[in-house]
């Protein structure tokens, strides 16, 4: 019986190190941007809700891009030591008063 290898199934090339950030960077499409939100609006009549917004600046950009709402969340990424806790980010976003 062959060993199950998720990296081969997903066709992911890992970096030479095994740091979580290297693995994540190899999995997620880093080219996504606010134009993609506008594009999504052209193919659906559903409201677009963005999850993972962590700053006031990104909240403003989400609104400008036409998002119907946001979810302040770090997707558990705080464990990578590079992302603030959701409760910390929530204060900055809530201070916008939107």
What is the four-CA torsion angle of 37, 65, 78, 75, rounded to 10 degrees?
-40
Active site residues: 75
| 93/57 Cα distance (integer angstroms) | 8
CA distance 16 to 18: 7
Residues 6+ apart with CB under 8 A from 55: 89, 92, 93
């Amino acid at each position: 019986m062959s060993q199950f290898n998720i990296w081969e199934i997903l066709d992911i090339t890992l970096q030479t190190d095994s740091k979580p950030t290297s693995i994540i960077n190899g999995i997620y499409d880093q080219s996504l941007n606010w134009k993609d939100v506008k594009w999504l609006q052209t193919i659906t009549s559903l409201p677009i809700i963005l999850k993972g917004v962590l700053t006031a600046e990104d909240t403003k950009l989400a609104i400008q891009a036409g998002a119907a709402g946001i979810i302040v969340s770090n997707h558990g990424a705080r464990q990578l030591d590079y992302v603030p806790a959701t409760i910390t980010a929530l204060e900055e976003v809530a201070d916008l008063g939107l």
